[in-house]
Amino acid sequence: MRYVIISISGGILFGVLDGLLNANPLAQKLYSVYKPIMRKNINAVLGIGIDLAYGFIMAGIFILLFDSFPGDTALLKGLSFGLVMWFFRVVMYGATQFVMFTISPSLLLYILLSGLLEMMILGAFFGLTLNS
């Protein structure tokens, strides 16, 4: 039951952070390069569902790999997890966007830094709550 509650909370946190990091005025200005291919309407229910699924998946992966992460405390292990997730989710995405599309270095930097912040917060959250 604890896993379910923390996974749902993690998914909600993921969604809130995505909203704050991707819908703020600076992000909107930087992401305007994608305007010609952006959807006119966002499917909020699908987005929430995806974030909740991410919460379950990330919590499960963290539990499975907990002992493998460096760090003497659960918080440090959570931050290590956040760095791994940042690389696989954000860095690889940013590199792909930079290669495939004409985006500014400032957009790439925003993607990398905002993604790092998001993954560090999520990693800390899982570290502090799933430290069985």
Radius of gyration of the chain (CA): 16
- Confirm if 55 and 8 have CB atoms less than 8 A apart: yes
Structure tokens given for 21? 């990091």
Average pLDDT along the chain, 132 residues, taken 10 residues at a time: 95 95 94 90 91 96 95 96 97 96 95 98 97 69
Confidence (pTM): 0.92
Q: What's 31's DSSP letter? A: G
How much is the pLDDT for 38?
Answer: 87
CA torsion through residues 44, 53, 62, 131, sign: positive
